[in-house]
A and B are shown apart, each in its own frame.
Chain A
Amino acid sequence: DAMVIQNPRYQVTQFGKPVTLSCSQTLNHNVMYWYQQKSSQAPKLLFHYYDKDFNNEADTPDNFQSRRPNTSFCFLDIRSPGLGDAAMYLCATSRSRASYEQYFGPGTRLTVT
């Protein structure tokens, strides 16, 4: 089945220690999104890639970076995680920016100690 895969499902990192979260998709979608979701809140868009075009949200901290080396993979890098960055990180894809229907991965739960 075509799907969105996130690895790892659970990640524990230390305060200030860089961490990378991974997302891959077999849907061949052009757009990939990264969301941060804290407990009992709506997902908050961090950034998205439309093909290779990177689009950062205005309020996304510089501590968060992303890479998309090819259509299938997208990475979220947190350069110096703080305690406030502990959250669920969701990757999603859509066929195009205008399709809006998004397909989500299962998420990575990040804990910062």
Chain B
Amino acid sequence: AQSVTQPDIHITVSEGASLELRCNYSYGATPYLFWYVQSPGQGLQLLLKYFSGDTLVQGIKGFEAEFKRSQSSFNLRKPSVHWSDAAEYFCAVGGNTGGFKTIFGAGTRLFVKA
């Protein structure tokens, strides 16, 4: 069965520190992978996506993610976190296995301390 696991429910980092949010997936075929960010009371905004090609993808707001097929992972990184990055982050996997669905992870809440 298809699934997405975000092992960390919440993470706290200091402003200016580096960030890595973990995502592991289970999927029967080549997945399409996404990271979305959700600020409180808002909808989800796409940060970046991976479909094929270079396994290191760049996104908006200085984020990047690396697809590692051998580890079934798609971790999100940022070298220097800003206070405005505090939000909920969702990893998602899509594909036509199981009927064109996008499956979201449970999310990781990022807190940024001054």
Contacts and interface: CB of A to CB of B under 8 A. Distances in A.
A4 B100 CA distance: 21
Interface string A79-113: 00000000010101000011011111111010000
Interface string B73-114: 000000000000000101000111000111011110100000
Nearest to B31: A100
B12 interface: no
B44 interface: yes
Interface residues of A, number: 21
Interface in B23-45: 32, 34, 36, 41-45
Interface residues of B, number: 23
Main secondary structure, interface of A, reads loop
Contacts of A103: 46
A83 B44 CA distance: 24
Interface of B: 32, 34, 36, 41-46, 49, 88, 90, 94-96, 100-102, 104-107, 109
